[in-house]
Amino acid sequence: MSRPSSAHHNSIAQAIARDLDGYWPQLATYIDLVPRIYPETPLLGAAVFWLDHGHIELIGL
Protein backbone atom coordinates (compact mmCIF):
# COMPACT_ATOMS: atom_id res chain seq x y z
CA MET A 1 0.00 0.00 0.00
CA SER A 2 1.41 3.38 -0.92
CA ARG A 3 1.41 6.32 1.41
CA PRO A 4 -1.14 9.07 0.85
CA SER A 5 0.17 12.20 -0.81
CA SER A 6 0.94 15.11 1.43
CA ALA A 7 -1.94 17.10 -0.12
CA HIS A 8 -4.30 14.21 0.66
CA HIS A 9 -2.89 13.99 4.19
CA ASN A 10 -3.39 17.73 4.68
CA SER A 11 -7.04 17.67 3.55
CA ILE A 12 -7.79 14.80 5.92
CA ALA A 13 -5.85 16.55 8.66
CA GLN A 14 -7.88 19.72 8.22
CA ALA A 15 -11.19 17.85 8.44
CA ILE A 16 -10.09 16.04 11.58
CA ALA A 17 -8.76 19.26 13.07
CA ARG A 18 -12.29 20.67 13.15
CA ASP A 19 -13.39 17.72 15.29
CA LEU A 20 -10.36 17.60 17.56
CA ASP A 21 -10.20 21.36 18.07
CA GLY A 22 -7.50 22.28 20.59
CA TYR A 23 -5.97 18.80 20.63
CA TRP A 24 -5.03 18.82 16.97
CA PRO A 25 -1.64 20.63 17.18
CA GLN A 26 -0.26 18.02 19.58
CA LEU A 27 -1.75 15.07 17.68
CA ALA A 28 -0.52 16.42 14.33
CA THR A 29 2.98 16.71 15.76
CA TYR A 30 2.92 13.04 16.77
CA ILE A 31 1.51 12.02 13.38
CA ASP A 32 4.32 13.88 11.61
CA LEU A 33 7.01 12.58 13.97
CA VAL A 34 6.30 8.82 13.82
CA PRO A 35 7.30 8.32 10.14
CA ARG A 36 10.53 10.22 10.76
CA ILE A 37 11.48 7.94 13.64
CA TYR A 38 10.21 4.73 12.00
CA PRO A 39 10.49 5.33 8.23
CA GLU A 40 10.29 1.60 7.46
CA THR A 41 6.84 1.30 9.07
CA PRO A 42 3.99 3.13 7.31
CA LEU A 43 1.68 5.11 9.54
CA LEU A 44 -1.86 4.19 8.48
CA GLY A 45 -3.74 6.12 11.10
CA ALA A 46 -3.96 7.39 14.63
CA ALA A 47 -6.41 7.04 17.47
CA VAL A 48 -7.57 9.18 20.36
CA PHE A 49 -9.16 7.60 23.40
CA TRP A 50 -11.46 10.16 24.98
CA LEU A 51 -11.39 9.34 28.68
CA ASP A 52 -14.22 11.71 29.52
CA HIS A 53 -16.49 10.21 26.83
CA GLY A 54 -15.28 6.60 26.99
CA HIS A 55 -14.81 6.13 23.26
CA ILE A 56 -12.02 5.91 20.69
CA GLU A 57 -11.82 8.12 17.63
CA LEU A 58 -9.89 6.50 14.77
CA ILE A 59 -8.13 8.68 12.23
CA GLY A 60 -7.21 7.07 8.91
CA LEU A 61 -4.36 8.74 7.07
3: pLDDT strictly greater than 60? no
Whether residue 35 is contained in a domain is answered as yes
Asked if residue 24 lies in contact with residue 16, where contact means CB atoms within 8 angstroms, the answer is yes
Question: 10-47: per-residue pLDDT in tens?
Answer: 666 666 666 677 788 888 899 899 999 999 998 999 98
Please state, in angstroms and rounded to a whole number, the distance separating the CA atoms of residues 50 and 56.
6
Whether residue 44 is contained in a domain is answered as yes
Whether residue 42 is contained in a domain is answered as yes
Look at the chain and report how many structural domains it folds into.
1
Whether residue 46 is contained in a domain is answered as yes
Whether residue 11 is contained in a domain is answered as yes
Angle at 2 between CA 36 and CA 9, to 5 degrees: 65
Range of the domain at 30: 6-60
pTM above 0.75, yes or no: no
* Whole-number pLDDT of residue 34: 92
Whether residue 1 is contained in a domain is answered as no
Please state, in angstroms and rounded to a whole number, the distance separating the CA atoms of residues 22 and 44.
22
* Whole-number pLDDT of residue 1: 41
